[in-house]
Amino acid sequence: SNRRWAFTMTCDPNPDRALIHRCGEGDRAAFDALARRHGPRLLAFLQRLLGDRSLAEDALQGTFLAAFRHASGYRGDSARAWLLTIARNEASRLRAREERATRNASLMDSLMDLGVAAGWGARDPEHLVSLAQQSERLKDALRRLEGSEREVLLLRDVQQLSGKETAQALGLPIAAMKSRLHRARLRLAVELRKGKDAR
Amino acid sequence: MKENFYGGIGCSEVLESLSDYVDGELSAERRAQIDEHLQHCSNCAHFGMYFQTMVRSAPGSMESDGSFDAGVLERLHQALDSTED
Tens-digit pLDDT profile for residues A35-60: 999 999 999 999 999 988 888 998 99
pLDDT at A52: 84
Q: Show the CA angle centred on residue A16, arms to residues A167 and A18, nearest 5°.
A: 130
Q: Which chain B residue has the Cα nearest residue A46?
A: B66
- Contact assessment for residue A152 and residue A181, using Cβ atoms and an 8 Å cutoff: yes
Q: Which helix (H) or strand (E) holds B58?
A: helix B42-62
Q: Which chain A residue has the Cα nearest residue B2?
A: A121
Question: B70 in contact with A at a CB cutoff of 8 Å?
Answer: no
pLDDT digits (tens, 9 = 90+) for A103-154: 444 444 578 888 989 999 888 888 888 888 888 899 889 989 988 999 999 9
Which amino acid, B26?
Answer: L
- Contact assessment for residue A107 and residue A187, using Cβ atoms and an 8 Å cutoff: no
CA dihedral (A111, B24, B27, A113) in degrees, to 10, reads 10
Contact A185 B51 (CB under 8 A): yes
Contact A185 B68 (CB under 8 A): no
Residue A100: pLDDT band (50, 70, 90) is: very low
Question: B16 in contact with A at a CB cutoff of 8 Å?
Answer: yes
Q: Which of A75, A92, A80 is nearest to A39 (CA)?
A: A80
Q: What is the pTM of this model?
A: 0.67
Chain B residues touching residue A45 (CB < 8 angstroms): 66
Is it the case that residue B41 has pLDDT exceeding 90?
yes
Question: B82 in contact with A at a CB cutoff of 8 Å?
Answer: no
The DSSP symbol for A108 reads G
Task: Assign A46 to helix, strand or coil.
Answer: helix
Which amino acid, A144?
Answer: R
The backbone region for A105, taken as left when phi is positive above 0, alpha when psi lies in -120 to 50, beta otherwise, is alpha
Among partner residues A35, A157, A160, which is closest to B73 by beta-carbon distance? A35
